[in-house]
């Protein structure tokens, strides 16, 4: 009888044991027990939590957090840049997952001072997406689902690297926006996706993460492939068609991708990377023509 009581007590203690993980800033995030009321302050964060099996624990998120379908039913608290602080506090979350690159630093600091546990999610490499899913699983008490999802992501990523990583390099321009003309440097996760596919970011060496570049700069670099995304009010890669001197234009390597699959550092980015790899392989094949 004593052994049964001890076992029951041990199980109860483990079920309510505190959990500690490190976020993408390297800071320790400790919860006294798995979170039950979570606020996701970026679209990619919402996707990470659903992948980790904790979607039903999200009590608030931000605009454009529209995947998976169930995410559309979650109350919106604002944008990834500014949220309604009164509503956030009223929801009494036991965990808030933030994205420092997009979120207001002032609001993040306010939330920290109010005592809310904060996890900063900003994967810089594709492998860190799976790491984030594992962390979400630990913080939400959904480890089994998170482990399974992360394992599948790593399997798919390893397969892509094995298939494309050693292919001849393709010098690439990745266009985030056209007015002004934005791109991404080598430290951004999109550049890691390019590397996985055997692509080379022509502006990898720039110091700013999302620098503005000029048309002249792109012409000078003469990329073999140009990628843009399909977004509302965005002209895309069509602006390059008049520049017949560009290698990417001459060879027909102007590609448009689904921005949600590559511009969000969530689980679907592995799928987006697969499409990116396929398009870069198309560019290689056109060298023979």
**In the structure, what pLDDT confidence band is assigned to residue 103 with cuts at 50, 70 and 90?**
low
**CA-CA-CA-CA torsion sign (253, 259, 261, 266):** positive
The DSSP result for 110-154, as a single string, is: HHHHTT--EEE---SSTHHHHHHHHHHHHHHT-HHHHHHHHHHHH
- Token pair 């900063």 in the structure block, residue: 120
Measured distance CA(144)–CA(117) in Å, rounded: 23
C-alpha span between 164 and 278 (Å, rounded): 9
For 215-230, the pLDDT digits (tens) are: 999 999 999 999 998 7
Per-residue confidence at 268, pLDDT binned at 50, 70, 90? very high
The two tokens of residue 222 are: 């003469």
The mean pLDDT of 144-161, rounded to a whole number, is 98
Q: Each residue of 160-193: pLDDT tens digit?
A: 999 999 999 999 999 999 989 999 999 999 999 9
**Could you say which DSSP state residue 53 is in?**
T
Phi-psi region at 200: left, alpha or beta (left = phi > 0; alpha = psi -120 to 50): beta
Task: Tell me the sheet residues that pair with 170.
Answer: 199
This prediction's pTM: 0.90
Report residue 13's pLDDT band, with 50, 70 and 90 as the boundaries.
Answer: very low
Beta bridge partners of 28: 22
* Angstrom distance (rounded) from CA 136 to CA 156: 20
Query: What's the pLDDT at 233?
Result: 61
What's the start-to-end Cα distance of the chain, in Å? 80
CA distance 255 to 236: 9
The separation between CA 196 and the C-alpha centre of its own chain, rounded to angstroms, equals 16
3-state secondary structure of 247: helix
| Tens digits of residue pLDDT in 57-84 | 999 999 999 999 999 999 999 987 889 9
Question: Residue 153's closest CA among 26, 273, 260, 65?
Answer: 273
pLDDT recorded at residue 106: 86
Assess whether pLDDT exceeds 70 at residue 147.
yes
Burial call 272-283: b when 16+ CB within 10 Å, e when fewer:
bbbbbbebbbeb
Residue-range domains of the chain with CATH:
14-150 (3.40.50.1980), 166-288 (3.40.50.1980)
Q: What is the per-residue pLDDT for 6?
A: 47
DSSP-assigned states of every residue in 159-182 = HHHHHHTTSPPEEEEE-SEETTEE
């Amino acid at each position: 009888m004593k052994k049964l009581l001890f076992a029951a007590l041990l199980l109860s203690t483990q079920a309510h044991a505190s959990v500690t993980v490190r976020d993408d800033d390297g800071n320790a995030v400790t919860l006294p027990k798995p979170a039950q009321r979570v606020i996701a302050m970026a679209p990619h964060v919402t996707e990470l939590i659903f992948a980790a099996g904790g979607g039903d624990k999200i009590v608030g998120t931000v605009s454009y957090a529209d995947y998976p379908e169930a995410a559309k039913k979650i109350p919106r608290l604002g944008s990834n840049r500014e949220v309604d602080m009164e509503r956030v506090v009223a929801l009494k979350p036991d965990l808030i997952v933030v994205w420092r690159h997009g979120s207001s630093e002032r609001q993040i600091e306010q939330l920290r001072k109010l005592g809310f546990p904060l996890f900063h999610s900003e994967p810089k490499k594709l492998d860190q997406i799976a790491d984030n899913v594992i962390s979400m699983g630990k913080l939400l008490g959904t480890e089994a689902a998170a482990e399974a999802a992360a394992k599948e992501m790593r399997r798919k990523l390893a397969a892509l690297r094995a298939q494309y990583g050693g292919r001849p390099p393709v010098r690439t321009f990745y266009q985030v926006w056209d007015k002004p003309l934005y791109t991404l440097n080598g430290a951004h996760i999109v550049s890691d996706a390019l590397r996985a596919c055997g692509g080379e970011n022509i502006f990898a060496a720039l110091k700013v993460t999302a620098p503005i570049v000029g048309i002249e700069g792109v012409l000078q670099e003469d990329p073999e492939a140009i990628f843009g995304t399909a977004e509302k009010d965005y002209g895309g890669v069509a602006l390059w068609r008049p520049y017949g001197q560009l290698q990417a234009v001459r060879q027909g390597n102007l590609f448009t991708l689904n921005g949600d699959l590559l511009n969000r550092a969530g689980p679907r980015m592995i799928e987006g990377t697969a499409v990116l790899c396929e398009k870069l392989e198309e560019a290689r094949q056109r060298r023979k023509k």
